[in-house]
Structure 1
Amino acid sequence: MNIFRHRPLGLPALTLLLAVAGCSAADDSPAVAAPRPDAKTAGMCRNLHQELPGTLDGQRRDDPAPRSAYTAAWGSPAIILRCGVERPARMRDPEADGVEVNGVGWLLVKRDDGSFRFTTTLRAAYVEVTLPKERTAHGLTPLIGLAEPIKKAIPEGIARSH
């Protein structure tokens, strides 16, 4: 079993990290492909879908089309959540960055377009959250708002790749 290490980044450090993110052009309307999880993961994702907040980081929930129990979005440009994604290859990297927010571990990946992608760790299903660069000014606020629903719907454990 390969578990990446969590670096102790506090909210101020991550806010600073997010604030200095690169400034390349980003597409304001990302394509949102719904994951195709196995039956066990699908059940957890449907439970999460019911628990997700109506607002996140001050943004109203407006799920992307096509509607799916495996995707959710807030604001424009959208904070995108996908549940039941495959394990990211980056999780096998012992140098990968991770953070813990209110009891939920996340793999942190800065993307070339200035956005950040977070994927849950040590949960029975992988949940991916993408923060567009325009939504990074509030640091971890979106992850704070997602912690309780994730803890309630996705138990701790090791997710199987499907």
Structure 2
Amino acid sequence: MNQTLWLLGGAYVALGVLVLALNIRSGWPLWIRLACIVLVSALYFVTWQSLQDLRGWPTRGALPPHFLLNASSVLEPDENLGRPGQIYLWVTPIVDDEPLGIPRAFALPYNRDLHTRVERARDAMRNGQLQMGDVTSTDGTLRTSNPSAFAPDHQQINLHDVPEPSLPEK
């Protein structure tokens, strides 16, 4: 991933040099040349912010509607340091009652109630019971999956044991 970042950074530097060279030799009005320079400079910042999810940092995106809980971590708020607290969940989406895809890390704002539920789920996982979760809105309706949406503050995360598989009859 670091090589990709270096290559992308080099591509943006080349783009910046190209824009500057074109601006020096062009007969464009000054405001267009300045706008080009500002736009390319803004692209550096936008690209850097959008690449953070690719580097493995937890996303603040919305959780999938059904998921298998792989791991969790809770950082409680610390008023002395001014840290608001975070809840991190590492989950695998469940589609058609089957875990599907690659596990993903999610960062959620700290909530005392969610902290308690995550601790209970972690204890159950330590005792060998797999945990799964559902995301509903506060009015009780199941939320649909939208991977590009940010996690809403009004979501309700329910964690429970994975049901025992039903075996076919002999």
Same-fold call, TM cutoff 0.5:
no
Q: TM-score range by the shorter chain?
A: under 0.3
